[in-house]
Structure 1
Amino acid sequence: MSAILSVDDLNDFISPGVACIKPIETLPAQKPEDTSNAYEVTTEDQVAASAPPPPAQISLTDCLACSGCVTSAEAVLVSLQSHSEVLTTLDSHRSLQPPWLAHNGTNGTEHSCNGAHNGTNGHACGEGKLFVASVSPQTRASLAAVFQVSEVEAGNMITQLLSGPAGLKNGGACGSDFTWVIDTNVVREACLVAAAEEVATALSPGAHKTSRANGSEGAIDTTPKQPILTSACPGWICYAEKTHPYVLPHLSQLKSPQALTGTLIKSVLSQRYNIPPSQIWHLAIMPCFDKKLEASRSELTSGAWHPKHDSSQTPVRDVDCVITARELLHLATNRNISFSSLPRTPLSPSQRTPFPDPKLDAFLFPPTRRKNQDPAGGSSGGYLYHILQTYQAQHPGSWISVTRGRNADVVEYALVRKSETIIRMARFYGFRNIQNLVRRLKPAKISRMPGAKGGVSRRPGGAGGEGIKEYAYVEVMACPGGCTNGGGQVKVTEVEDVRAAEGVRAVNGDVVVARPGPKEQKEWLSRVDEAYFSSSDAESVDGDGDGNQEMKDVDTPTTNGHKSSAEEHVVNGISRTYIQDMFTHWSEITGVDLQNLVYTSYRKVESDVGKKKPSDMERVAGLAVTVGGGW
């Protein structure tokens, strides 16, 4: 298990269920009695504990291992994804250098690599790999708040660590580093457009009459039922699959930005360079540990999209390893690199390797940099708000009504025009609120009482689901406050130690108290949110004569540098036409159906409570074979 992952990090996920076998009480210590008569016979209930037993320890291996969020086999798989795994892989494989690999992707032969094109520093490096990283905006915001820089500068520091001349390549046994570092905000915009289209399709008349004829509930070829529930949060997906499978028909089939980035990277690079997906190693830097579980899903592998894949081959994961903001700092420390001392400027154009497809290169590395999301959209990608704005653009004169629910993490939205409510949506963050959501979605039970009317039903606990079912879309996230509060983010209790280790002093009154509590953590989260929303609407990357780059504001509505025409559908600066064109181009150059590239599936996970369980080694071996790749 990652050294920084402990039970304290699970405070925003699932609590132990009623089937938890770990004791939560211990016998109190009692006064020692006279034991002069060694042969005295007593009854069992008279025996007192000589010393208080140690407190019960609950780990990922124990917590809900029967049917909950994390099984013991998954816990082992998660433990393999850490900063140590990143360093081990870099030190075991030399970086493939794309210029010598470039071709048109049509010669039908797979490349192999020898050490002639890559420095090995005298180390016996194994098979060459093409290293690619993707970074979430929430991670950048967390590090920006810690080191008191802008979110843009934090992103540049991460890129310098992974790809720069003063980064990981120094001190590595093979001198390996990451060829590309991708901002997942770019792919997130594609996800937002796809999400809006999915909702529009699902709500169209007759959508469910033809979509479920061949596919089972949660299959990739199904259309989600109203209300459509966000699928970008892996903690929520695990919870739904293992405890409330009746919500699977409501889940969006769309891949998360992390998963979609992995599919895009491996499908395009393996085709353009004609190398197997196993030679492409993708690292994702994300805000929460649950993203490690998402990377281990068998549905998110090359088996879903690779044209030459057959059942006899072991599929390769689209995301090989996931680390968090805190693990990224450990990555730098283990290489004796001071993260705070890294350059805050982008890499020079001469240091950047173009992506093998010019059109996708312009998409993934645009000349303009957009803000993360409007504050009204939240810090979790803004799915609900983008869909709501899409509907608003289609209904001139309408306005958005916002109503707070029982707490700050439950918010209801309605698009209203005059006295008409066009569409309703809601946001549910945190598992306490999610439990209320799924309880109200639970199907009604038919009464079995003699004389009961046919079709009469009752709901457990008197919960009513009609209000929930009136929502067209619900944005669901496991973490209270959204993704900037992920379990892998730097917590307020760690800020002082991180800054002291890096030699960074607090400024502008940003003082961390000696014993921070919930209030201080809330204030710290507001600083992270401030960093997340600090970017300007659009910024342009220009280079000066010395090869340095700076960000400049751009007023023209764009999507990743694409200028939008008047007739295009542009919502919050995101062009639907441009995104659709990129999706079509991606499908054409890879020869893979767009459905297999962009969408995924879910499955009900059966509980093993009361059943004979295989050993942990058998479960890990079986799951590893199913997942495949990477290790």
Structure 2
Amino acid sequence: MSAILSADDLNDFISPGVACIKPIETLPIQPKDDSNAYEVTTEEKAEALQPPPPASISLTDCLACSGCVTSAEAVLVSLQSHTEVLTTLDTHPSLRAPWLAHNGTNGVANGHMVNGTMNGVNGNGTEGKLFVASVSPQTRASLAAVFNISEAEAGNMLTQLLSGPSGLKSGGHQGSDFTWVIDTNVMREACLVAAADEVTNALSSQASNAPSRPGYEGAIDTTPKAPILTSACPGWICYAEKTHPYVLPHLSRLKSPQALTGTLIKSVLSQRYNIPPSQIWHVAIMPCFDKKLEASRSELTSAAWLPNYDQSQEKIRDTDCVITAREILHMAAARGINFASLPRTPLSSADRTPFPDPKLDAFLFPLSRRKKQSAVAGSSGGYLYHILQTYQAQNPGSEIAVARGRNADVVEYSVVRGSEIIIKAARFYGFRNIQNLVRRLKPAKASRLPGGKTGVVRRPGAAGAAAGEGVKDYAYVEVMACPGGCTNGGGQVKVMEVEEVRNYGGVEEDTRAPKPGPKEQKEWLAKVDEAYFSASDSEDDKVNGDGDRELRDSRTNGHSGEDDIVDGISRTQMKNWMAHWSDITGVSTQKLMYTSYIKVESDVGKKKQSDMERVAGLAVTAGGGW
């Protein structure tokens, strides 16, 4: 799916406005107002009437049908692209520290000019926007492999492109750029701690045995059932909602780092600093196209966290646009910028705008990185491995056992102490493996025969049955749609594109080299993974300019003990930060950090009603009959 998808590869493209498989109900066309209401419409007159327009599809409609995922992604690729980013930058001027206006230090509020804008609108009537970008580590790893640099240097180059003096603003119509470029790894640390707590709470409350409320299996206020399944991969979530709704009670309610970043920025700036969510524009730079699907979800909008939300209010997305590593390079080329020539050093302190809340500034922009993760953690954020490490820290003397499954993308983990198994978990990457997973989670059907046994499943041999039960024994399963994990996302630079990218960047390649094949692609992915795991906390990997080191290092040097540190993350400090976020916005942590999932209904693939059956049904609904 996403691992091989690009806009040029699609052959089932459904552009907006053309006929769609989304089912719609249509009533017989009403006659014109000047006709007799009691006149019988003959067949000749009915044929002369205009047929209804074809159903059109939008971003949210793509999630409301059961069409193939590639068609949905095709629409999202066309509507969320680097062109959209450049167009928005050229249309809207950047808001510069507008919160300072409320203190009377940079412009004047209450109707006076602020940074050349009148209440966020310049003299030409164009609304100013506060531009924010978030960058995933997988994207940085892809670019690092292309240009033979470290992952940290690739991140610095991205920041220079988005916010630096020689970046996008140098050639833009408005001179707009991004006020902040946020590393999603800092948000992921909050996700990791919350994920570990979610598993612990679910197991301790024995929620896996609690019955689900019909229609609310994926509600935000419910505790997921074991085995808890990762929800950070939108391709997997879309697949589950459309085809296997019985897994919804198992999905983690936790938002992804992309969604969490958007929620943080927009909730804090709107609730604390009076910047409307519509004036905050968040672009996420992610490894796959499915993240465009995630950004379009109605559950990830201001309606989910805005206090006293009115249904008449416009829903503002937490993430306005998603682009990928390949699109970043296209965006630089469109501006005439040689990406390879961008500085590989962090922005100077003079070019950096502090986040208005000092505590959040220290959290979002640390001076140094957390030490590199182990390759055992995987290339998709390390959710599973952090949970295992949390249980290991809580059980002294235990260790993590690893056992490979039927292929490299199925791995089983256990936290054991002697002969005692404390917790079991697994990793399932790739749709072929995911299909095996959801098949084993499918509830058994009760026998219709009197005295028949419930839950009898025919599988060849006892091993198949044992494998099915083994899945249900897991406490947590890390599920990702792409084989190999997120570094293999569809938006990453492919091996066949490297030569072209490097040539543009001024790196000469041997044109006599043979065209790369599957073997070369596999070797290329290994190089991307190497870059992903290369991040460290050395002085060379400083991610910001000079600043208040004591304040900004406080995120890891709190008063918590050594047993509170799991994989370099202080659980106490992270929970204090979450509580601070909730306090300054006045929004509960549940609304800020968690979301919900829904079963998608569709008539696609089902038996079609005849025209007579459909009209009869409509007549009964309207109170009539034959």
- TM-score (structure 1 length as normaliser): 0.80
What is the DSSP-based 3-state SS (H/G/I as helix, E as strand, rest coil) of the residue aligned with 1:597?
helix
Q: Deviations over 1:524-546 (max 9, x none)?
A: 00000111111224548779xxx
Pair 1:388–1:291, CA change in 2 (3 A): same
Q: Decide whether the 8 Å contact of 1:368 with 1:560 is kept in 2.
A: no
Aligned-residue offset at 1:573? 0.7
Q: Which amino acid aligns with 1:404?
A: R
Aligned-residue offset at 1:103? 3.8
Pair 1:409–1:209, CA change in 2 (3 A): closer
Partner of 1:474: 477
Q: Which amino acid aligns with 2:352?
A: R
Pair 1:494–1:196, CA change in 2 (3 A): same
Q: In the comparison of the two structures, how many residue pairs are matched?
A: 547
Q: Decide whether the 8 Å contact of 1:413 with 1:424 is kept in 2.
A: yes
What is the DSSP-based 3-state SS (H/G/I as helix, E as strand, rest coil) of the residue aligned with 2:87?
helix
Partner of 1:147: 147
Partner of 1:83: 82
Partner of 2:494: 491
Q: Decide whether the 8 Å contact of 1:81 with 1:322 is kept in 2.
A: yes
What is the DSSP-based 3-state SS (H/G/I as helix, E as strand, rest coil) of the residue aligned with 1:458?
coil
Q: Which amino acid aligns with 1:94?
A: P
Pair 1:139–1:149, CA change in 2 (3 A): same
Pairing 1:409–2:412 present: no
Pairing 1:602–2:597 present: yes
Q: Which amino acid aligns with 2:327?
A: E
Q: Deviations over 1:161-215 (max 9, x none)?
A: 0000001111211110000000000000000000000000000144467895698
Aligned-residue offset at 1:5? 2.7
**In structure 1, C-alpha distance between the alignment counterparts of 2:172 and 2:111, rounded to whole Å:** 22
Pair 1:527–1:540, CA change in 2 (3 A): closer
**In structure 2, C-alpha distance between the alignment counterparts of 1:540 and 1:515, rounded to whole Å:** 36
Q: Deviations over 1:206-239 (max 9, x none)?
A: 4467895698100000100010000000000000
Partner of 1:281: 281
Pair 1:437–1:206, CA change in 2 (3 A): closer
Pair 1:596–1:116, CA change in 2 (3 A): closer
Partner of 1:622: none
Aligned-residue offset at 1:456? 2.0
Pair 1:210–1:66, CA change in 2 (3 A): closer
What is the DSSP-based 3-state SS (H/G/I as helix, E as strand, rest coil) of the residue aligned with 2:128?
strand
**In structure 2, C-alpha distance between the alignment counterparts of 1:540 and 1:578, rounded to whole Å:** 25
**In structure 2, C-alpha distance between the alignment counterparts of 1:123 and 1:494, rounded to whole Å:** 44
**In structure 2, C-alpha distance between the alignment counterparts of 1:102 and 1:171, rounded to whole Å:** 28
Q: Which amino acid aligns with 1:332?
A: A
Q: Decide whether the 8 Å contact of 1:369 with 1:539 is kept in 2.
A: no
Superposed CA RMSD in Å reads 3.5
Q: 1:86-235 counterparts in 2 under 5 A?
A: 86-98=85-97, 101-103=100-102, 117=116, 124=124, 126-207=126-207, 216-235=216-235
**In structure 1, C-alpha distance between the alignment counterparts of 2:157 and 2:338, rounded to whole Å:** 11
Pair 1:406–1:82, CA change in 2 (3 A): same
1:584 to 566, 576, 579: 579
Identical-residue share of aligned pairs (%) = 71
Deviation larger for 306-315 or 86-95: 306-315
Partner of 2:359: 359
**In structure 2, C-alpha distance between the alignment counterparts of 1:347 and 1:325, rounded to whole Å:** 21
Pair 1:163–1:279, CA change in 2 (3 A): same
Q: Which amino acid aligns with 2:455?
A: S
**In structure 1, C-alpha distance between the alignment counterparts of 2:559 and 2:541, rounded to whole Å:** 19
**In structure 1, C-alpha distance between the alignment counterparts of 2:482 and 2:261, rounded to whole Å:** 22
Q: Which amino acid aligns with 1:428?
A: F
Q: Deviations over 1:246-268 (max 9, x none)?
A: 00000000000000111001001
Q: Which amino acid aligns with 2:389?
A: Q
Q: Decide whether the 8 Å contact of 1:479 with 1:485 is kept in 2.
A: yes
Q: Which amino acid aligns with 1:5?
A: S
Partner of 2:519: 519
Deviation larger for 460-469 or 292-301: 460-469
Partner of 2:6: 5
Q: Decide whether the 8 Å contact of 1:270 with 1:276 is kept in 2.
A: yes
Q: Deviations over 1:418-476 (max 9, x none)?
A: 11111100000000000000000011111223x443x5223365664311000000000
**In structure 2, C-alpha distance between the alignment counterparts of 1:401 and 1:519, rounded to whole Å:** 30
Q: Deviations over 1:483-507 (max 9, x none)?
A: 000000000010011111221246x
Aligned-residue offset at 1:374? 2.1
Q: Decide whether the 8 Å contact of 1:370 with 1:539 is kept in 2.
A: no
**In structure 2, C-alpha distance between the alignment counterparts of 1:532 and 1:274, rounded to whole Å:** 38
**In structure 2, C-alpha distance between the alignment counterparts of 1:533 and 1:208, rounded to whole Å:** 35
Partner of 2:455: 457
Q: Which amino acid aligns with 2:349?
A: P
Pairing 1:398–2:398 present: yes
Q: 1:547-586 counterparts in 2 under 5 A?
A: 560-563=555-558, 565-566=560-561, 569-586=564-581
What is the DSSP-based 3-state SS (H/G/I as helix, E as strand, rest coil) of the residue aligned with 1:536?
coil
Pairing 1:427–2:430 present: no
Q: Deviations over 1:275-308 (max 9, x none)?
A: 2100000010000000000000000000000114
Deviation larger for 253-262 or 604-613: 604-613
**In structure 1, C-alpha distance between the alignment counterparts of 2:111 and 2:212, rounded to whole Å:** 44
Q: Decide whether the 8 Å contact of 2:409 with 2:427 is kept in 1.
A: yes
**In structure 1, C-alpha distance between the alignment counterparts of 2:274 and 2:300, rounded to whole Å:** 21
What is the DSSP-based 3-state SS (H/G/I as helix, E as strand, rest coil) of the residue aligned with 1:480?
coil
What is the DSSP-based 3-state SS (H/G/I as helix, E as strand, rest coil) of the residue aligned with 2:401?
strand
What is the DSSP-based 3-state SS (H/G/I as helix, E as strand, rest coil) of the residue aligned with 2:268?
helix
What is the DSSP-based 3-state SS (H/G/I as helix, E as strand, rest coil) of the residue aligned with 2:204?
coil
Partner of 2:505: 502
Partner of 2:244: 244
Pair 1:210–1:324, CA change in 2 (3 A): same
Aligned-residue offset at 1:341? 0.5
**In structure 1, C-alpha distance between the alignment counterparts of 2:252 and 2:512, rounded to whole Å:** 40
What is the DSSP-based 3-state SS (H/G/I as helix, E as strand, rest coil) of the residue aligned with 1:397?
coil
Partner of 2:29: none
Q: Decide whether the 8 Å contact of 1:300 with 1:318 is kept in 2.
A: yes
Q: 1:25-36 counterparts in 2 under 5 A?
A: none
Q: Which amino acid aligns with 2:483?
A: P
Partner of 1:327: 327
Q: Which amino acid aligns with 1:297?
A: R
Partner of 1:46: none
**In structure 1, C-alpha distance between the alignment counterparts of 2:318 and 2:559, rounded to whole Å:** 32
**In structure 2, C-alpha distance between the alignment counterparts of 1:392 and 1:282, rounded to whole Å:** 37
Pair 1:522–1:71, CA change in 2 (3 A): closer
Q: Which amino acid aligns with 1:76?
A: V
What is the DSSP-based 3-state SS (H/G/I as helix, E as strand, rest coil) of the residue aligned with 1:255?
coil
**In structure 2, C-alpha distance between the alignment counterparts of 1:386 and 1:155, rounded to whole Å:** 24
Q: Which amino acid aligns with 2:592?
A: L
**In structure 2, C-alpha distance between the alignment counterparts of 1:347 and 1:368, rounded to whole Å:** 14
Pair 1:530–1:513, CA change in 2 (3 A): farther
What is the DSSP-based 3-state SS (H/G/I as helix, E as strand, rest coil) of the residue aligned with 1:439?
helix
**In structure 1, C-alpha distance between the alignment counterparts of 2:223 and 2:196, rounded to whole Å:** 13
Q: Decide whether the 8 Å contact of 2:398 with 2:416 is kept in 1.
A: yes
Aligned-residue offset at 1:566? 2.3
